[in-house]
Structure 1
Amino acid sequence: MLNKEEIAARIPHQGTMCLLERVTSWDEQGIRALATSHRDASNPLRQGGRLGSANGIEYAAQAMAVHGSLLATADAPPRQGYLTSVRSVTLHADRLDTCSGPLEIEAERLSGDGNNVLYQFALHHGGQCLLTGRAAVVLDASAL
C-alpha cells in the first residue's frame, strides 16, 4: 500500500535509516510492513558487521510512526512521537542479518489517547517469530 519513498515522506528517518520497504496493510488498530534493509551491509544499526535482533525494536518503532501518520487527519501537522518505554520484549533469535527473506513487522495499537499510545509488536521471518514486545509512545513530550 505504501512504498519506501511514501514511508520516508511520513517519518523523520531518511536515507539508510528508513528501514521499512513497504506497508502491506493497515487499519485503525494496526499496521503490517516488510523490510529488507536487515540484509544491507550499510544498515546504520549494524555493529561489528552484524545486526542483533534487539534492533528489531527500531523496525517496529518505524512501523508505529507510519501508523500514527496514517491515522492523522490530512490537515493536521505531523507529530513526532517519542518511544518512552519498551516492555515485555522477548528475543527469539540472535540476529536479523542472517534472515534471507524480508522481515515482517506487525504493530497493533492496544490503547491510547491524544498524546499517549501503547502498541504491541512482533517481527517474523518465514513464519518464525523473531521478536515480540510492547512499546509506549508519547506524541507530544512538551505536553507532559
Structure 2
Amino acid sequence: MCLLDRVTQWDGTTIVCTASSHRALGNPLRANGRLGAACGVEYAAQAMAVHGSLLAQTDGAPRAGYLASVRSVELQVQRLDGVAADLTITAERITGDANNILYRFTVAADGQTLLSGRAAVVLDATLLRS
C-alpha cells in the first residue's frame, strides 16, 4: 500500500511528501467509512521509508525497516478523511546510527498541524539481541 503521492523535497536529514489518499473512499486504512487521525502515523512511516530508500541510493542497498515505537503523538483533529487539502508529511531524522533511527514527524494541511510525534525505526532487529 502506497499512500504518498510525491516527494517534494529531501536532504540527508529531512523529507517532505504530499498525499491526497486520505480523501479516497478506497483508502485501506479506513474503518467504518472513516479515517482516524492516528492513521497519519502510517503516512509518516511511509515518508520515513522513502527517506531511507533515497539515502540508500548514495549509502548502499536499501534495508527493510521496522517501526519499533511511536511516542509523544499529539492528535490535533479526530479524522483525516474530512480534510479537504492535500496532506504535507514531514519527517526529520533527529538521531541515529547504522541500525536505529529516531525521527520527528508532522502531518499538516494548509499550514495546520493535524498530528505530530516521534518514531523509532530499527533496520535489523536481530542486532538488538544480546
Q: TM-score, normalised by structure 1?
A: 0.86
Task: Tell me how far apart the structure 2 counterparts of residues 48 and 89 of structure 1 sit (CA, whole Å).
Answer: 23
* Per-residue Cα deviation, 1:80-120 (whole angstroms, up to 9, x for no partner): 00000000000000000001110000000000000000000
Query: Identity over aligned residues, as a percent?
Result: 62
Could you tell me which residue of structure 2 aligns to residue 31 of structure 1?
15
Displacement of 1:74 in angstroms is 4.8
Do residues 65 (structure 1) and 49 (structure 2) align?
yes
Task: Tell me how far apart the structure 2 counterparts of residues 97 and 116 of structure 1 sit (CA, whole Å).
Answer: 32
Could you tell me which residue of structure 2 aligns to residue 112 of structure 1?
96
Do residues 46 (structure 1) and 35 (structure 2) align?
no
* Per-residue Cα deviation, 1:2-58 (whole angstroms, up to 9, x for no partner): xxxxxxxxxxxxxxx200000000001110000000011110000000000000000
- 1:1-144 correspondence to structure 2 within 5 Å: 17-74=1-58, 76-144=60-128
Moved over 3 A (4+): none
| Higher RCO, Cα 8 Å, sep 6+ | 2
Task: Name stretches of at least 5 consecutive residues in structure 2 with no aligned partner.
Answer: none
Q: TM-score, normalised by structure 2?
A: 0.95
Task: Name stretches of at least 5 consecutive residues in structure 1 with no aligned partner.
Answer: 1-16
Displacement of 1:75 in angstroms is 7.5
Task: Tell me how far apart the structure 1 counterparts of residues 45 and 52 of structure 2 sit (CA, whole Å).
Answer: 11
Displacement of 1:143 in angstroms is 1.6
- Contact 2:52–2:62 (Cα < 8 Å) also in 1: no
Q: Which amino acid aligns with 1:129?
A: T
Cα RMSD of the aligned pairs, angstroms, is 1.1
When structure 1 is superposed on structure 2, of 69-78 and 127-136 the one drifting more is 69-78
